[in-house]
Amino acid sequence: MRKVSIVGAGMTRFGEHWETSFRDLIVEAGVKALTDAQMPGQDVQAIFGGCMASSRFIAQEHIGSLIADQVGLKPIPSTRCEAACASGGVALHSGWLAIASGRYDVVVVGGVEKMTEIGTSRAALALGGAGDQEWELFNGASFPSIYALMACRHMHDYGTTEEQMASCAVKNHANAVNNEYAQYRKKITIEQVMNSGYVASPLKLFDCSPLTDGAAAVVLCASEKARKYSDAPVEIFSTSQASGTLSLASRSSFTSIDATRVAARDAFDHARLTPKDVDVAEVHDCFTIAEIMAIEDLGFFKKGEGGKVSEEGRTALNAEISVNTSGGLKACGHPVGATGVKQAVEITWQLRGEAGKRQVNGAEIGLTHNVGGSGGTAVVNLYKRGD
């Protein structure tokens, strides 16, 4: 298997894009990534694009073809990847495999979603399809309620508090203040989170990620050719994807996501590293309890300690491990098909030393963690500065 590096990265601002189309978002992110790589379009051999629910959000399918058409890269193969909120992560995993196998030398990986053109109830229905439609959504179990069940069990088993969950939101908003691409660039307090009103107890409004429009893209290249395009390539030196049960009720535990644990163990084993080697991580915080479970399942902290260490500030910028420097899904935004690729863009900027006021000092090893649904899919990637 050949080594694979990121040689270009770009994204749109995440937020509500009322005057920007789905196509425009794709083009903006793709052009930024190619420009960053100083790469002519004719060097690109394939495209992998993450997109979850375009038929529900904008009544458009055949996204692979649309991407190739809009960025002017037809007739090269262009493939849409769908794995709910892990669509971008699966696209990145697929692009990595395409180069590592030797089939291609240069691939563009993108992710896009435009979620705000329909009402909240219709958006909730679209997102609910990421879980078990027959046994969960049909019976009224939305994703806030599913993650609320996880939170309740975590609180029962480990003494996690609502204030500890709130601390994740406060930290991620503080990071997003310094991210020009973030949807919410405003600090919040524990009190504001606690007073924001319940969506599904114990999760409140400020415990939840928003509906978001946005796109992100990275250019992948065989590492032996990366210096042709970049003076600061970032190697994806381990990637793993795992599956779990679609429904929460089918799991042995409500406080852990098996797919995350399996993917993380495989990624670390392949890289011959441990969680202690990671300097900066972008984890899937669709809800604050999701970040707490993620930092446990990834091995950064012991099971049950996630709430406590978050409250103590041990996941803040330049603390024990810097988690969600972009603002995470909570504050940077969560255009579901784009999130996994945005995470890779953020880690690329961090390892290049280009993250400005949210820069992690001396960052050398990064991790991204992208989850589909309530844990049906998980992708974990490890990154390092290129040789």
pLDDT tens figures, 324-360:
999 999 999 999 999 999 999 999 999 999 999 999 9
- Residues 17, 93, 173, 334: which is the catalytic one? 334
pTM of the entire predicted model: 0.98
Q: What is residue 120's predicted lDDT score, i.e. its pLDDT?
A: 87
Q: Give me the sheet containing 46-50, strands edge to edge.
A: 78-81, 46-50, 106-114, 213-222, 4-11, 234-243, 377-385, 365-372, 280-282, 322-323
Instruction: Identify the band that residue 41 occupies on the pLDDT scale cut at 50, 70 and 90.
Output: very high
* Predicted pLDDT of residue 387: 72
Nearest to 211 by CA among 111, 326, 90, 126: 126
Question: Which pLDDT tens digit goes with each residue over 94-153?
Answer: 999 999 999 999 999 999 999 999 988 899 889 999 999 899 988 988 999 999 999 999
**Lowest-pLDDT range, 129-133, 239-243, 265-269?**
129-133
Domains of the chain: 4-119+211-234 (3.40.47.10), 140-203+237-385 (3.40.47.10)
How many other CB atoms are there within 10 angstroms of residue 178's CB atom?
Answer: 17
* Position 263 pLDDT exceeds 90: yes
146-201 pLDDT, tens per residue?
Answer: 999 999 999 999 999 999 999 999 999 999 999 999 999 999 999 999 999 999 99
pLDDT at residue 384 above 80? yes
Per-residue confidence (pLDDT) for residue 244, from 0 to 100: 97
Distance of alpha carbon 32 from its chain centroid, rounded?
A: 19
What pLDDT does residue 229 have?
96
Tens digit of each residue's pLDDT (9 = 90 or more) over 43-63: 999 999 999 999 999 999 999
Q: How many residues does the chain have?
A: 387
What was the pLDDT predicted at 68? 96
Given a cut of 80, is residue 16 above it in pLDDT? yes
Residue 334 bears catalytic tag: yes
Dist CA 127 CA 292 (whole Å): 22
Q: How confident is the model at residue 251 (pLDDT cuts 50, 70, 90)?
A: very high
Question: Mind listing the pLDDT tens digit for each residue in 230-240?
Answer: 999 999 999 99
pLDDT computed for residue 121 by the predictor: 87
Per-residue confidence band for 286, with pLDDT thresholds at 50, 70 and 90: very high
351 — phi, psi (to 5°)?
-75, -20
**Average pLDDT for 73-97:** 97
Cα(95)–Cα(110) distance, integer angstroms? 10
How far is the C-alpha of 321 from the C-alpha of 310, rounded, in Å? Answer: 11
pLDDT at 123: 93
Mean pLDDT, the chain, rounded, equals 97
Q: Choose the catalytic residue: 51, 81, 85, 286.
A: 85
**Could you count the other beta carbons within 10 Å of the beta carbon of residue 265?**
16
Of all residues in the chain, what percent carry a pLDDT higher than 70?
Answer: 100
Q: CB-based contacts of 121: which residues, under 8 Å, 6+ apart?
A: none
Q: Do residues 378 and 90 make contact, with C-beta atoms less than 8 angstroms apart?
A: no
Tokens of 316: 């803040």
